[in-house]
Structure formats: C-alpha cells, structure tokens
Amino acid sequence: MFSIFPPRASTAAGQVDALYTFEMAINILMTALIFLCVFFFAIKYRRRSPDERPRPIHGSIPLEIAWSVIPFGIMLVMFVWGTRLYYDLYTPPRDALDIYVTGKQWMWKVQYPGGQREINELHVPAGRAVKVTLASEDVIHSFFVPAFRVKHDVVPGQYETVWFQATQPGRYHLFCAEYCGTNHSQMGGWVTVMDPVDYEAWLSGAPRGGSLIEQGEKLFQQYGCVSCHVLDASGRCPTLRNVYGHPVVLEDGRTVTADEAYIRESILNPNAKIVKGYRRDIMPVFQGQISEDGLLQLIAYVKSLSGATPAPQAQPKGNQK
C-alpha cells in the first residue's frame, strides 16, 4: 500500500507528524488562497475597454491589520508548537538506556554498555527511552531513522546525542543522511526493536569482550593513565573519582561541568582546560592515538567512577554521626 509517511514506531513520531501535517495544511491553504485571489482579481478587475482608467484606491486600515495580525498569530502557533517539540526531542530522559554509535566511512559501529558490538545493526527494547551518543571517526555523517523521526548530524571531534523511545517491535531502516563520500548511499543498516524480555535474552547471547567499563579500565591501564590519575587526590594529575557530572574549577578561574565532551577534550588535548592547582604539559596529548570507540570506553570508565556506582570504600548505611 502506498503511504506518505514511514511507519510511526516511536513516541515522537505522531507528534512530529502532527506538526508537519499542520504546517503542510497551512502551506497549502495559503498557496491556494493567494492563487485564488490572483485569478479572482484578474477577472474581476480586468480592463474592459481600451480607454478605461482604474479608480484610485487609498488602502484600508482594517484589511491591513487583518492580513498582518492573522498570519502573525499562525506563525506564533508554529513557533511555540515547534519549539516545545524541539525541546522534548533534544532532552533525553534521565533514565534512558545508553548506546554508543560511531560513524565511519562507510558504516555505523554500535557499542552497548555491556560491551556487545555490532556493525550496521542496532538493537533496542520497545517501550524504553534510548539515548544514542554519536561520534564520527572521519567526516560528517547523519544518523537517520525515519520510522522514529530521528535525524541528527554526527560531527567529528565532538559528541552529539539523540534519543527516542521505540513503540513497536520490528525492523526499521537506518540511514546516513549526509553525503560523506563514495559509498554514502550504502552507509545504512537496520534498527531492530525487540520486546524487552527478548532484548535481555539477545543482550546476554551477544558476544562480548567485557563491558564498556571493563574495556575502558583496560585502556586506562594500557595508556598509563593510572600512574598519574590515581584514584585519590595524591597524584600528579586530578583524581577522577566523582569528577563526571560535577563542576570543575579551572586555573583561569572558570568553572565547567565535567560532561562527556569535557572528558573527551581532556584526553585528546589535556592542555585545553587545566584544573586549578595542576600544571600543564604533564599529560601527553592523545589526539590521534585513541579511536573513537576507545574514547567512549574510557569515558564509560571515568563515568563509572562517579555517583551511580558507589566507591568501594563507601561508608556502610546507617553509620554514626
């Protein structure tokens, strides 16, 4: 059967389509109105005899107010509606499942928190918000899942995120929507939405080499990070315990929040932001040394040192004081 829209398989799909349909309807109405007026006036005010002179017209205030205020109101509806939807679509829920996707000429590489990996295949559970962190190893790609109404550029050198909540089990196309070289048209794959129970089974059956955090910890040792960033404050470099998600005071007095982008930058170009009380040029520059996959693993490890997982020496519950 012919259908204008791809299947609606995410919670956002209906909302995006509603806004799109509304804007389309306004477009068609306005276009029709203008064309009808052109034809109508062309006939009504046509020149009837060679020596006819039209009567001068000096304008109409009520008419001018009407054609200014009504379109303005319609534009405001579009603006408020569009902005609200935009904020919803760009604010992932806090409990979203993390998945990491790296674009590379010409494939999508997928990593799950449990360490499972895939290429050009993305498995997600139905009914659960999923936050996808996007990175690129080379050029700009664009992560596009029409059935979820999700499209986002993947830009080298930074992280982008998208989120969606799939509603129906099934298989949906994944595309690259940004021309990225010779095989751009073949850079795509499938998103498989599974029933949550099947998803757990699938996750436990997928091959893996340690969770993302374990792989990150391995890299942390391998690159020698562990010799300076010891996990208390006595090292030559700042401790990484409880850094993620917390404010960091820099030597120039600024305060930044240690998010993924900050950690990534601090690995690749440590001198960009020096923590107050520490010296520059202590840590080597890792630009070009670590793959995007490796960075995501390291970041997962640094994240694991904060908040969510309690520190090993944490006080037992109900202690004195």
Binding site for ligand CUA (CB under 6 A): 103, 106, 141, 176, 178-180, 184, 187
Q: How far is the CB of 109 from ligand CUA (least distance, A)?
A: 12
Toward ligand CUA, which CB reaches closer, 103 or 270? 103
Q: How far is the CB of 255 from ligand CUA (least distance, A)?
A: 37
Toward ligand CUA, which CB reaches closer, 141 or 264? 141
How far is Cα 8 from Cα 192, in angstroms, rounded to an integer? 14
Toward ligand CUA, which CB reaches closer, 127 or 188? 188
Toward ligand CUA, which CB reaches closer, 217 or 293? 293
Long-range contacts of 236-244 (CB under 8 A, 24+ apart): 236/278, 236/282, 237/278, 237/282, 237/283, 238/275, 238/278, 240/302, 240/305, 241/305, 241/306, 241/311, 242/305, 242/306, 242/307, 242/311, 243/302, 243/305, 243/306, 244/302, 244/303, 244/305, 244/306, 244/307
Toward ligand CUA, which CB reaches closer, 30 or 119? 119
Q: How far is the CB of 12 from ligand CUA (least distance, A)?
A: 23
- Write out the two tokens for 17: 């389509």
Toward ligand CUA, which CB reaches closer, 178 or 260? 178
Toward ligand CUA, which CB reaches closer, 3 or 182? 182
Toward ligand CUA, which CB reaches closer, 141 or 229? 141
